Homo-oligomer: A and B are copies of this chain.
Amino acid sequence: MILVKVGGGAGVNLEGIARDLAGLGEPAVVVQGANAARDVLAARLGTPKRTVISESGVESVFTDADALEILTMAYAGLVNKRFVALCQQRGVNAVGLTGLDGALIRGRRNRGIRVAENGRRRLLHDDSGKPVSVNVELFRLLLGAGYTPVVTVPILDEEGRAINTENDEVLALLQRDLGADVVVQLIEAPGLLGDPAKPESLLGALGRGDLEAMEPASSGRFRRKLMGLRKMLDSGCRRIVVGDGRLPNPLRSALSLEGTVIE
């Protein structure tokens, strides 16, 4: 079983990925993002995305009730169903699901983000959290019957309410609990870059030690990405390829080791 994360950037070639899934010849689980669609919808609705920076310097999206509704419409509605239709057109029997559906992914609601505001400390509460457990039986039921699950946020908190979470953390949890030995991440870049501003700084091959060495100097989302990658190697993942989602055949190219190959 192969696990594929489809980034939510506007340039990601969803048609190409659907076509590649049709030619894959093995079961797949897809984790799908939609950040570009979410940002467009939020701007149209006059409620732009809000981010906060914690005391420890980590930037996160702040998910209030409005933001949760908007992300549900963009991730679970618009983009999930657009991708499912593209898959169906190519003979891939995709089933779009959020973490809520069949309690597919349960998480732990964040206890608050500690921020410093005008020199004072405050604890901000939002509708977000960390994924903790997976309904492996539902994945097996669908995979066993030939379906391709396409998973996205929101997920369930401890009380059955919807919360936002990081797709990279969902990916790491699914890799571990479904035992995926190959993971592909398709993003809006040629792969992981030494310098985000320079596409030619592609890091072609990385080992576990490289990830660990890069972590201290990195920050924010990129740091969390590195930690997620390391976690998957530690959970038995044989190979992760971070590939270019904008190519004509994004998944096929990544499986041919174009991009950053992490082993």
Give chain A's interface residues, CB within 8 Å of chain B. 41, 44-45, 69, 72-78, 80-82, 84-85, 88-90, 93-98, 100-103, 137-138, 141-142, 145, 147, 154, 156, 159-162
B88–A96 CB distance below 8 A:
no
Contact B145 A89 (CB under 8 A): no
Contact A102 B93 (CB under 8 A): yes
Known: A94-B102, A96-B98, A138-B145. 7 other contacts (CB 8 A): A41-B73, A77-B78, A88-B103, A89-B160, A94-B101, A102-B147, A137-B145
Q: Which applies to chain A's interface (DSSP): helix, strand, loop or mixed?
A: helix
Known: A72-B81, A78-B69, A137-B145. A100 touches B96 (CB 8 A): yes
Within 8 Å by CB of A72, from B77, B93, B95, lies: B77
The smallest C-beta distance from A263 to any residue of chain B, in angstroms, reads 34
B72, A162: Cβ atoms closer than 8 Å: no
Within 8 Å CB of A147, what residues of B?
Answer: 102, 138
Q: How far is the CA of A175 from the CA of B117 in the complex (A)?
A: 57
State the Cβ distance, A61 to closest chain B Cβ, in Å: 18
* Contact A81:B94 (CB < 8 A) given known A88-B103, A89-B159, A159-B89: no
Is A160 in contact with B97, judged by CB distance below 8 angstroms?
Answer: no
- A85 contact set on B, CB distance < 8 A: 100, 156, 160-162
A-B contact list, 6 entries, CB within 8 Å: A76-B81, A85-B100, A95-B101, A96-B100, A96-B101, A141-B145
A81, A89, A93: which has the most chain B beta carbons within 10 Å? A81
